[in-house]
Amino acid sequence: MIVVSGKLFVSEGKRDDFLAASREAMVLARKTPGCHDFVVAADPIEKNRVNIYEEWDSQENLDVFRGSGPDSEMNKLIVSADVNQRSITQEYE
């Protein structure tokens, strides 16, 4: 399993715009084979922070979805990012 998680900071006052633009990606990701979860959400404490969380069956599934990645308009809203990808080899129930 592949887990992608982290935080983005967006331009002052642009978080709602970023979240609205992220909605389509969330819907598409959740319909993509191999995707267990895909969330882009407002942080409840820091007003310009957005939290990212994704779970995928495999790197291949993630790569197929990523394809083109976020468009340049969304990238313009991101001030900084700290997002990591981890491969989980053992799952606990």
For residue range 5-26, list pLDDT tens digits in order. 999 999 999 999 999 999 999 9
Range scoring the smallest mean pLDDT among 1-5, 20-24, 37-41: 20-24
For each of the domains in the chain, give its residue range(s) and CATH number, in order of start: 2-87 (3.30.70.100)
Please name which of 46, 29, 49, 51 lies closest in space to residue 38, comparing C-alpha atoms. 29
Enter the pTM of the model.
0.86
Dist CA 36 CA 67 (whole Å): 18
